Amino acid sequence: MEFTREIYWNVGHGVTTLLPMYVLTFASIAVLVKAFMKRVKVYKQGKPVERLDQIPARVLNLVKGVLLQNKVIRVKGPGLAHGLFFWGFFLLFLGTCLIVLQADFTDLLFGVKFLKGNFYLLFSLVLDIAGLVAIVMLGGLLVRRYLVRPEGLESKSDDAIVHGLLFAILISGFVIEGARMAVTELDTLLAYWSPIGLVFAKGLAGLGEGSLRSVHRFAWWFHLLLVMGFIVAIPFTKFRHIFTTSLNYLFADLGPTGKLVSLDLEDDEVESFGASKITDLTWKDIFDTDACTQCKRCQDRCPAHNTEKPLSPMKLVNQIGEVAFDNPEANLVDVCDKDAIWSCTTCRACQEICPAAIEHVGKIVDMRRNLVLMEGEFPGEEVMTAMEQTEVNGNPLGIGYAGRGDWAEDLGIKTLAEDPDVDILYFVGCYASFDARNIKIAKAFIQLCHSAGIKVGILGKEEKCCGEPMRKMGNEYLYQSLAAENIELIKNYGVKEIVTSCPHCFNTLNKDYRDLDFEIPVINYTVYLERLLQTGQLKLKAKELFCTYHDSCYLGRHNDIYDAPRALIQTAGGRIVEMEKNRAEAFCCSAGGGRIMAEEKLGSRINVKRVKMAAEAGSPILVSNCPFCLTMFEDGVKGADLEGQLLSMDIAEVLVERLET
């Protein structure tokens, strides 16, 4: 005998079954489509943005995101549980599709059956295990949500519906299977290929065939109704994310990572800049709000949220969603709250971890742009002063521009104005030019280059702030003015290659300036020095060093440079003990997003928190790669009462101490 089973056993395959079943199915799908059409109208309030180019890359994202659950399972525990549940449920869905395909199409029309033999055995076993895994994972998630409840996880009626419906569908499925097996398969070899169904069958066996048939028929129709309910519920509940989150993988920003959209400030047609109304955002921004499942991963990692500041990236995204769907006339900035908007350090921890590919940072910067460009508002007077200082002196510190190159006196380097024939242009940045602590890093870098025989030039007093802090703070106009001046200057000197020791300068020159007709290669100093090590130009004498290493947001998450700096430290003889939050999970120093210009008035200090994490790692030295980080750590060490216990250093300092002489 060939292994198989009768499809539509006990419920019949006639019009009385198929007609109501298909009518219900099509009606449910119609409700779903109609409800989504309505939502599409809401998305369409947003401005256009191209998110359907580069289809192969986008489809790959979709497949990885949905089928492999690659973003979801990055967080062990609930992420893996969701992944396993998804795979289980997805297999059940595929199994159901196969049944429909055979019973209502291939068999009905052509007399072809494929659910038989060994394939049927495998089919039965896989679906049974899938169902079990789905139930167990769902149970685990239920316990997490309603019994353990991690901090910040909020449950609404939506969540109860989702859990209840899924449980009911899965259990009723097994009841159907069990009732059928109790009548047709008990004591056969086939039954062992449906181990979970067999458990149900044995439990139900005592009822007798008549009752079992009634139970089966009832459970079958009930299961069908539940599934119809599920389809109908998709657009109205969190089930929505099955479509929206999946599509968001397709629509995801393909990079460069974290690059902001440049505004056309000269466009006379534009009356308002930045976002204050929902129509100022793009349709993708609104779609994002529909893709959020409130998993709170962003909030868990947000440095502002973790230091009692009023920002939660998750809440902000959902507030934008509420405006889009329920209150489209509302002012976004008021709804999202200015303090929350100003609290962001653009560290990208939220966006990096988001399993729904939501883009938080761009929305925040868009609202900041509106505040700055349209209202002349800043988080504090000190920020406005820094902006004005930058307008006057080209640096937010307010130091006379003419002294920008003073640090390099007596180092044997010239400005490009004096000698433009150089191997690299070192774009120094404001902090390494003016801040006493960071000048040491600039000097160390020059020393390293000189020992490697590299001829370095600087712009000296002609260099201006790259504009990064201003841009992230929303001042697109000032950023573009600074960028235009720097670009014209650098291009005129015919520079071949630019190296920066500030990840903010690096990110800006290497990504943001690309919109402004700037093509010269830009390299971060860690990558550049590693290159010099590899070519043998730079020679280090390894000397022991026990340290922890901080990934700055703009070298790490924004540019994926994690290994070059670690390789440098290790080559120098360093042993790195990682902090708990490292690499893509690194915790911000507090100074990104233009916050370097702002006082941290709300909540506790981010830099102190990070410095304490470094101390907990157990090494006496904290090595970093960014002038903002170094500045914040020097300050944080004092704030955390760790003076004398934790030393803050830049990689260049570590290396220069180990130069072969």
Partner 1 sequence: MKILVCIKQVPDMESKFKVNADGNWYVDADLAWRMNEYDEYAVEQAVQLKEQVDGSDLTVLSIGPQRVQETMKKALAMGCDRGFHIADDESCKKDPFEIASMIAEFAKDKGFDLIFTGMQSQDRGSAQVGVLVAETLNLPSISTIIDFSFASGKVSAKRELEGGIKANVSCATPALVTCQLGLNTPRYPTLPNIMKAKRKELLSIPAEELLKVEGKQETARIYFPEKKGGGLVLEGDANDLADQLIKILKEKTGVLA
Chain residues that interact with partner 1, rule: CB under 8 A: 265, 271, 273, 372-378, 381, 384, 387-388, 392-394, 398-403, 461, 476-477
Closest approach of partner 1 to the CB of residue 382, in Å: 12
Q: In the complex, what is the shortest distance from the CB of residue 375 to partner 1, in angstroms, rounded to a whole number? A: 7
Query: Of 468, 465, 503, whose CA–CA distance to 593 is shortest?
Result: 468
Nearer to partner 1, 299 or 475 (CB): 475
Q: Output 273 or 587, the one with its CB closest to partner 1.
A: 273
CB of 287 to partner 1, least distance (A): 28
Q: Between 319 and 390, whose beta carbon lies closer to partner 1?
A: 390
Task: Specify the residue, 161 or 516, whose C-beta has the smaller distance to partner 1.
Answer: 516
Please, which residue, 19 or 392, has the CB nearer to partner 1?
392
Question: Crossing angle, helix 436-451 and helix 627-639, to 10 degrees?
Answer: 130
528: CB partners within 8 A, 6+ apart: 424, 499
As a whole number of angstroms, the distance between CA 94 and CA 126 comes to 11
From CA 242, how far away is CA 263, in angstroms rounded?
A: 34
Minimum distance from residue 477 beta carbon to partner 1 (Å): 5
Neighbours of 497 (CB within 10 A): 13
Beta bridge partners of 319: none
Contact criterion met (CB below 8 Å) for 437 and 631: yes
Q: Name the CA dihedral angle for 268, 271, 273, 274, rounded to a multiple of 10 degrees.
A: -140
Closer by beta carbon to partner 1, 49 or else 392: 392
Query: Residue 139 or 403: which CB sits closer to partner 1?
Result: 403
User: Is residue 194 within 8 Å of residue 244, measured between CB atoms?
Assistant: no
Torsion angle, alpha carbons of 301, 304, 309, 313, to 10? -60
Q: Whole-number minimum distance, CB 374 to partner 1, in Å?
A: 6
Which is nearer to partner 1, 31 or 399 (by Cβ)?
399
Least CB distance to partner 1 at residue 369 (A): 9
- Minimum distance from residue 387 beta carbon to partner 1 (Å): 7
Min. distance of Cβ 479 from partner 1 in angstroms? 12
> What is the 8-class DSSP label of residue 417?
T
Q: Regarding beta strands 545-549 and 574-576, do their DSSP bridges make them parallel or antiparallel, or are they unpaired? A: parallel
- Strand arrangement of the beta sheet that strand 456-458 belongs to: 414-415, 456-458, 424-427, 498-500, 522-524
Q: Shortest distance, CB of residue 376 to partner 1, whole angstroms?
A: 4
Contact 464, 397 (CB under 8 A): no
Q: What CA–CA distance (Å, rounded) separates 626 from 385?
A: 23
Compute CA 492 distance to the chain's CA centroid, rounded to the nearest angstrom: 38
Which of 461, 605 has the CB closer to partner 1? 461
What is the DSSP track for 543-596?
--EEEEE---TTTTTTT---HHHHHHHHHTTEEEPPPSS-GGGPPP-S-TTTGG
- In the bound complex, what is the minimum distance in angstroms from residue 601's beta carbon to partner 1? 17
Closest to 641 in 3D by CA, of 600, 608, 604, 607: 608
Choice between 377 and 578, CB closer to partner 1: 377
Q: Between 266 and 580, name the residue whose CB sits nearer to partner 1.
A: 266
Cα(341)–Cα(363) distance, integer angstroms: 9
Token readout for 425 is 């242009």
User: To the nearest whole angstrom, how small is the minimum distance from the Cβ of residue 51 to partner 1?
Assistant: 27
To the nearest whole angstrom, how small is the minimum distance from the Cβ of residue 388 to partner 1? 8
CA atoms lying within 13 Å on the CB side of residue 542: 11
Q: For partner 1, which is the closer residue by CB, 132 or 399?
A: 399
